[in-house]
Structure 1
Amino acid sequence: MTNAKPYLQSINFKRELVPSFDEYPFNIPAISTLLSMDFHPDVTFIVGENGAGKSTLVEGIALSLGFGIEGGTKNVNFQTHDNASPLSKYLATVRSFKKPNDSYFLRAESFYNVATYMDEVDYTKGYGVRSLHECSHGESFMATLTNKLSGGGLYIFDEPEAALSPSRQLAALTAINNLVHRNSQFIIATHSPILLAYPNAKIYMLDDSGIRSVKYEETEHYMLTKYFLNNHKEMMEILLNQ
């Protein structure tokens, strides 16, 4: 039987249509050098320093697939601000012959707004809680991950670790793996060395030289965290005595 995954196989950047590479977001090195990007059937991570273009790229991918700028399911069609970059207009998506049965765009910076909207329309069915605002930020994230996402889906996350403790990040890994085994695909922008450890994932690094595929052990997140934990006393002396 032909595998339906990856539901999102790749994106192609329609560079010839870009009016100017001197304006945002096309002046970001990782965007200006983008040609295409292939996605892993299970998990693809997008990493990089602040300002490298991770959230911009993930937002562009999500919007090109029909999600709203705030996040949520494709049925969540509200917005509290209008600052989406125009990148999505220049991305062509290559998709599977089969549509996913489920989909969700989890965006840390606007998840509060999604939770408010869900309360206002009285539609928290599936989240496993009466109100997302009755949970902590991390608990509402986990309720989404463990209850709302039903499998067979395409899920796009932007910095999901923002509200999660290290132990909850480990729990999130288990939940992600369970969904992967239920025919789901994830595209995740993250700073978390814990989430990045998910085995066999594809990792794209965004920096001033563009976009490249790297191994987990080659990420700054892994190297810096490992060095700090192994040398934390020396690091504190250096950092605090400058």
Structure 2
Amino acid sequence: MTERGGPFDDRPVRRVRTRRDAAYDASAWPASIPAVGQLLRDGLDLPAGVTFLVGENGAGKSTIVEAVAEAYGLPPEGGSNQGHHATRRTESPLADWLLLERAPWAAKWGFFLRAETMHGYYTYFESVATGDDPALHTMSHGESFNALLATRLNHPQFTAGLVCLDEPEAALSFSSTLSWLANLAEMVQRGTQVLCATHSPVLSALPGAHILELGEWGIRETAWAELEVVRNERSFLDAPGRWFRHLL
């Protein structure tokens, strides 16, 4: 992979920016979220490899990942660009305001894993599955995510392209999260570009990942050890009693 603008830059998404004809109210949701407002004003470069969006609930992580996935042509309720399904639309209009700068020769495949709507995707997947595909509805939440990782996200037939992940750790045990770290590293080696919203200090520890912390300041690049979630979980695990004195 080369830097943005180079003659061999093959990132599926080089940059996210606002469409010239985008009509939105900067004082209304979702543009009023500081991170989304900064994205609309300044755009966002996406490097090769994995980019993590980390921050508190309501900081705009999922809103941005969801919008980038939809702007890329992925179904907003999850799945690949090879098939679409929909139940009830609840997504923000942000995707309609965004334009993705893409290398014309880059891989076009993509997948969006969205934790809270995957049950609907599993039903759709079941309707088009072949005999070799896993029966996702028969598995636990975590098992089904691991099966998707093995058969879609980190499978030689499908890798390369863009993978958008919205808090995948919601379904994962500690050991499964470690397995996802190893698989993400393999996906990057195959040329997959990943944009992931997460609260997980384990997942975001992936070596070489690009980490963006979202909050009242907007979006800022940071190091893993400087993340608020890393500092807080380390403090809690070191001495839970200090936290309980304030909580209980």
Residues in 2 aligned to 1:52 and 1:124: alpha-carbon distance in whole angstroms: 39
Aligned twin of 1:123 = 129
Task: Note the 1:45-56 alignment, pairs <5 A.
Answer: 45-56=52-63
Indicate which of 120, 142, 147 corresponds to 2:146: 142
Shift of 1:168: 0.6
The aligned amino acid for 2:136 is L
Q: What SS does the aligned partner of 2:85 have?
A: coil
Aligned twin of 2:210 = 202
Task: Note the 1:160-239 alignment, pairs <5 A.
Answer: 160-239=168-247
Q: How many residues align?
A: 237
Residues in 2 aligned to 1:96 and 1:202: alpha-carbon distance in whole angstroms: 20
Residues in 2 aligned to 1:132 and 1:69: alpha-carbon distance in whole angstroms: 19
Residues in 2 aligned to 1:216 and 1:125: alpha-carbon distance in whole angstroms: 42
Residues in 2 aligned to 1:175 and 1:80: alpha-carbon distance in whole angstroms: 30
Aligned twin of 1:68 = 75
Which stretch of the first structure deviates more once superposed, 74-83 or 228-237? 228-237
Residues in 1 aligned to 2:186 and 2:33: alpha-carbon distance in whole angstroms: 35
Indicate which of 154, 162, 169 corresponds to 1:154: 162
Q: What SS does the aligned partner of 1:104 have?
A: strand
Q: Answer yes or no: is 1:21 the counterpart of 2:29.
A: no
The aligned amino acid for 2:12 is Y
TM-score, normalised on structure 2? Answer: 0.89
Q: Answer yes or no: is 1:59 the counterpart of 2:56.
A: no
Q: What SS does the aligned partner of 1:33 have?
A: helix
The aligned amino acid for 1:73 is S
Cα deviation digits, residues 77-134 of structure 1 (max 9, x gap): 2211112211111111111242326321111011111001111x2415664x2x1011
Residues in 1 aligned to 2:136 and 2:144: alpha-carbon distance in whole angstroms: 6
Q: Which runs of 5+ in 2 are unaligned?
A: 2-6
RMSD between aligned residues: 1.9
Q: Is the 8 A contact 2:10 2:106 kept in 1?
A: no
Residues in 2 aligned to 1:76 and 1:113: alpha-carbon distance in whole angstroms: 13
Residues in 1 aligned to 2:43 and 2:35: alpha-carbon distance in whole angstroms: 11
The aligned amino acid for 2:35 is A
Q: What SS does the aligned partner of 2:113 have?
A: strand
Indicate which of 26, 42, 56 corresponds to 2:49: 42
- CA 1:228 to 1:13, structure 2 compared with 1: closer, same or farther past 3 Å? same
TM-score, normalised on structure 1? Answer: 0.91
Aligned twin of 1:33 = 38
Residues in 1 aligned to 2:177 and 2:10: alpha-carbon distance in whole angstroms: 25
Shift of 1:3: 4.9
Residues in 1 aligned to 2:22 and 2:137: alpha-carbon distance in whole angstroms: 42
Residues in 1 aligned to 2:15 and 2:131: alpha-carbon distance in whole angstroms: 32
Q: Which runs of 5+ in 1 are unaligned?
A: none
Q: Is the 8 A contact 1:72 1:106 kept in 2?
A: yes
Residues in 1 aligned to 2:220 and 2:144: alpha-carbon distance in whole angstroms: 33
